């Protein structure tokens, strides 16, 4: 703009010839080094407290070897009836829990997005999410097995409950980061709230909702294999039984099947996500 | 037709975006709102259809006072005010047709809009408007497949299908190249004339504003600094709106371009 005056020139000449460094994230040097050294010291101390009993590890290696060897010879046949029944139960649990969980998550996600919901609704929905996320699946399953008894009903309820915390939280975050102007344009046309959600918000978050749902189905299936360990039915119950009987070949067969199903779901989700983008 | 009286907007941060703006716009008048960034142009437009809630003052659209309306009544009045946005603000993952029909949301019940079963008259009108802006063949394309100029045309259709009495236009040409900018401005002004609409057009490009509108309002830090015909924008006036700068070139260039365009 205007010609540089003398003050500018002296300011510039003071800067020239000086090396340039990116300003440090923590400005105070002593604080920065205290943080770095303190963390390093803590790490060393923490690792030192982990006790390793090498003779126990040596014994365990033998058992581990048997387990791994069983994979070279998985037995699908001897317990095929149990495996089939467990697999069907797991899949039913997964599908039913995912559908119910996702259906409940969507309104909660809307309520938990600050740019869509008023403050009281927001707080309620955020608390529901917090409770669902704080209680780990296994803990919920133990409680529900105590209430509803052994079997897939407890598993189904556990997975539905866990789905809500997962899906509602991530979907709400996507809603909060949506493009405000697109939604504003719909509001400006005189749309009512439901129409605003349907036209202004839903199209923006749909790919994320579909991607998350498929991912959650995947998780639910894997969880259904764990929940059987605490009596909540599914393939996990079959797996648990085979471990109890030291039938590692059957256990190996079950694990291979689980891996195959998860891989199939992964493949499927890739295809679907590519299509909805 | 539109009357703003002592309209004030103070944001929570304490910034006073509008300082008692009083403005009267007769039926069918196309008006350009110019001023530096942060002068309150966008806020003014958004206070009219209450996308931004004004702090005090009144807005009359015809006989209806807008600032005190309940949300249901506000929705009905918003149907009479079509809005056109800076970055087009089309819903990108919806088709062109869905975007245009979204202008009818205030008129149809939820189930119709949800199932995309709009009345035949609305669909016909959408095709007519798309044809008018030369995009009838694009109806089933997704909005994000279109170029900037095409998107803004769809935005114009969406505003017009509301059957508005007033257009609120926020920087319609800000992200367009100079040629497309002129085409879009010309289209907006032609359509306003055809339909007898009043319009408030926020615009950065003073030269473009001068080419197309009948009246110019200059806004500076939330207050009206200039109100008059486009020829009244002398270097002195521009300096009072924007601050000191060499304005002769801007104004002369307009004349040159004007002749070239004719």
pLDDT of residue B13: 86
Q: Whole-angstrom Cα distance, residue A182 to residue B89?
A: 5
ipTM over 0.85 threshold:
yes
Q: Is B103 on the interface with A (CB under 8 A)?
A: yes
Residues of B in contact with A195 (CB under 8 A): 105, 110, 113-114
Q: Is B52 on the interface with A (CB under 8 A)?
A: no
Domain holding B152, by residue range, is 2-261
Phi/psi-derived region of residue A151, left when phi > 0, alpha when psi is between -120 and 50, beta in every other case:
left
Searching chain B, which residue's CA lies closest to the CA of residue A276?
B93
Q: Is A202 on the interface with B (CB under 8 A)?
A: no
Q: Is residue B141 pLDDT above 90, yes or no?
A: yes
Q: Considering the entire predicted model, what is its pTM?
A: 0.82
What's the CATH code of the domain at B254? 3.40.50.300
Greatest alpha-carbon pair distance for chain A in Å reads 93
Residues of B in contact with A203 (CB under 8 A): 91-94
Cβ(B205)–Cβ(B181) under 8 Å? Answer: yes
- By Cβ distance, the residue of B102, B110, B155 closest to A194 is B110
Searching chain A, which residue's CA lies closest to the CA of residue B163?
A189
Q: Is residue B161 pLDDT above 90, yes or no?
A: yes
pLDDT of residue B174: 85
The total number of structural domains that make up chain B = 1
Inter-chain touch A188–B92, beta carbons under 8 Å: no
pLDDT of residue A5: 53
Q: What's the rounded mean pLDDT across residues B61-67?
A: 90
Q: Is residue B69 pLDDT above 50, yes or no?
A: yes
Q: Whole-angstrom Cα distance, residue B26 to residue B170?
A: 19
Inter-chain touch A182–B90, beta carbons under 8 Å: yes
> DSSP letters along B115-178, please?
TT---HHHHHHHHHHHHHTT-GGGTTSBGGGS-HHHHHHHHHHHHHTT--SEEEEE-TTTTS-H
Cβ(B94)–Cβ(A202) under 8 Å? Answer: no
Query: In 3D, which of B232, B238, B236, B231 has the Cα closest to residue B255?
Result: B231
Tell me the pLDDT of chain A (277 aa) as tens digits: 444 455 567 888 888 888 888 888 888 889 999 999 999 999 999 999 988 888 888 888 888 887 788 778 888 888 888 889 999 999 999 999 999 999 999 999 999 999 999 999 999 999 999 999 999 888 999 999 999 988 889 999 999 999 999 999 999 999 999 999 999 999 999 999 999 999 999 999 999 999 899 989 989 998 888 888 888 888 888 888 888 888 888 888 998 898 999 899 889 888 888 887 7
Query: In 3D, which of B191, B153, B157, B158 has the Cα closest to residue B172?
Result: B153
Choice between B29 and A233, residue whose per-residue pLDDT is larger: B29
Segment B3-27, tens digit of pLDDT = 999 999 998 888 888 888 999 999 9
Q: Is A210 on the interface with B (CB under 8 A)?
A: no
């Amino acid at each position: 703009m205007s010609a540089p005056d003398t003050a500018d020139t002296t300011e510039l000449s003071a800067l020239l010839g000086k090396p340039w460094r990116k300003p440090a994230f923590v400005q105070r040097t002593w604080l920065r080094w205290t943080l770095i050294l303190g963390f390093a010291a803590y790490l060393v101390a923490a690792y030192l407290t982990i006790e390793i009993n090498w003779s126990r590890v040596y014994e365990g290696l033998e058992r581990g070897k048997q387990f791994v060897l069983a994979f070279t010879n998985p037995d699908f046949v001897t317990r095929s009836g149990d495996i089939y029944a467990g697999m069907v139960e797991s899949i039913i649990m997964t599908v039913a829990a995912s559908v119910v969980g996702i259906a409940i998550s969507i309104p909660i996600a809307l309520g938990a997005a600050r740019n869509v919901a008023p403050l009281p609704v927001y707080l309620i929905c955020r608390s529901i999410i917090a409770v669902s996320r704080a209680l780990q699946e296994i803990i919920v399953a133990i409680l529900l097995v105590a209430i509803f008894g052994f079997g897939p009903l407890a598993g189904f309820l556990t997975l539905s409950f866990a789905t809500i915390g997962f899906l509602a939280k991530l979907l709400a975050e996507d809603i909060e980061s949506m493009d405000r102007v697109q939604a504003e344009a719909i509001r400006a046309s005189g749309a009512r709230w439901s129409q605003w959600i349907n036209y202004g918000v839903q199209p923006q978050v749909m790919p994320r909702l579909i991607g998350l749902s498929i991912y959650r189905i995947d998780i639910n299936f894997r969880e259904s294999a764990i929940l059987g360990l605490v009596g909540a039915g599914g393939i996990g119950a079959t797996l648990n039984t085979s471990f109890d009987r030291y039938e590692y070949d059957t256990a190996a067969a079950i694990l291979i099947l689980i891996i195959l199903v998860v891989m199939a779901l992964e493949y499927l989700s890739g295809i679907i996500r590519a299509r909805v983008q | 037709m539109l009357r703003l009286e002592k309209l004030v907007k103070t944001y929570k941060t304490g910034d006073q975006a509008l300082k008692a703006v009083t403005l009267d716009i007769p039926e069918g008048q196309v008006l350009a709102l110019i001023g530096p960034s942060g002068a309150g142009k966008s806020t003014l437009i958004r206070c009219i259809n209450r996308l931004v809630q004004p702090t005090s003052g009144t807005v009359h659209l015809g006989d209806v006072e807008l600032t005190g309306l309940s949300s249901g009544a506000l929705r009905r009045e918003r149907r009479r005010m079509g809005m056109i946005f800076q970055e087009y603000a089309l819903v990108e993952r919806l088709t062109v047709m869905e975007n245009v029909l979204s202008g009818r949301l205030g008129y149809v019940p939820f189930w119709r809009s949800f199932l995309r079963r709009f009345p035949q008259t609305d669909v016909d009108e959408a095709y007519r408007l798309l044809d008018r802006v030369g995009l009838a063949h694009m109806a089933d394309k997704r909005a994000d497949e279109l170029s900037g100029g095409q998107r803004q045309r769809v935005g114009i259709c969406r505003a017009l299908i509301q059957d508005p009495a007033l257009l609120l236009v926020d920087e319609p040409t800000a992200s367009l190249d100079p040629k497309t900018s002129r085409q879009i401005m010309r289209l907006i002004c032609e359509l306003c004339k055809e339909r007898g609409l009043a319009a408030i057009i926020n615009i950065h490009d003073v030269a473009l504003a001068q080419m197309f509108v009948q009246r110019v309002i200059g806004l500076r830090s939330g207050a009206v600094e200039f109100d008059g015909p486009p020829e009244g924008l002398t270097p002195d006036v521009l300096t009072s709106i924007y601050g000191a700068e060499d304005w002769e070139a801007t104004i002369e260039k307009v004349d040159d371009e004007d002749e070239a365009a004719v």
